[in-house]
Amino acid sequence: MIELIPAIDIIDGKCVRLSQGDYDKVKEYSALPADVAKEMEDHGITRLHVVDLDGAKSMHVVNWRTLEQIANATSLVIDFGGGVKTDDDLRIVFDCGAQMVTGGSIAVKEPDTFQRWLLKYGPERIILGADVKEGKVAVSGWLEDSDNELMAFLQHYTQQGVQKVICTEISRDGMLQGPAISLYKDILAQYPDLYLIASGGVSSMEDIEALAEANVPGVIFGKALYEGRITITDIEKYVIQ
């Protein structure tokens, strides 16, 4: 069964969602992140994806206190991304309760650092973030494009020992128009042993079921949950199956 991984994106300590990674298209949700996380856990969720959007722009971890609040309020397995650029950032995130860290920009801009983290902490704790726009990897909170072709990027890091990848199709993120299933099928055709986590565009449980049928191991979703297109009850029923 596909692993369900709700996302909590944070700006100024609050739950928000962007559309296509655009910081000018922010929708704020009233619930506190820790309360949202606790409700998810109460309905069978065991894993959470937390993104520090302030950190992604600032190039260092910003919302670490919010991470700590979530970790203290729940027993969820948390992976954290956004602004993790230095050894101190990584230490802060792990100390505040994250079990895993997702590195995207750092893997592009400072590959030696990312590879050192991979060796030190292992592929179970270091996830590669591969956020893609028109076939190329984007960085710095999706504010910058890189010259890295997605498939070559994945090939390089799987050879370095990466086992888990979160791949977001930026054009679909926050748009509720369905995930890039053909992209994920292409990735898994080349890297069948990869623990690939799809992200972007999920609008319904039917989208999640389509990803499961494509043998995608995990899925991240956020806006569909906050907008009521996927309900906590839907999640609970699916998890219990």
* Catalytic (active-site) positions: 9, 131
Backbone angles phi, psi at 121, to 5 degrees: -100, -20
The helix/strand/coil state of 24 is: strand
Question: Which ranges of the chain would DSSP assign to H, the alpha helix?
Answer: 33-42, 53-58, 64-73, 87-95, 105-109, 111-121, 150-159, 181-190, 205-213, 223-226, 232-240
Q: What would the DSSP string read from start to end of 41-59?
A: HHTT--EEEEEEHHHHHHT
Cβ atoms of residues 170 and 142 within 8 Å: yes
> Which residues, including other chains, have CB under 8 Å from residue 154's CB and lie 6 or more apart?
128, 130, 165, 187, 190, 191, 194
b/e burial code for range 83-109 (CB count within 10 A of at least 16 → b):
bbbeeebbebbbebbbbbbbbbbbbbe
Radius of gyration of the chain (CA): 16
The helix/strand/coil state of 143 is: coil
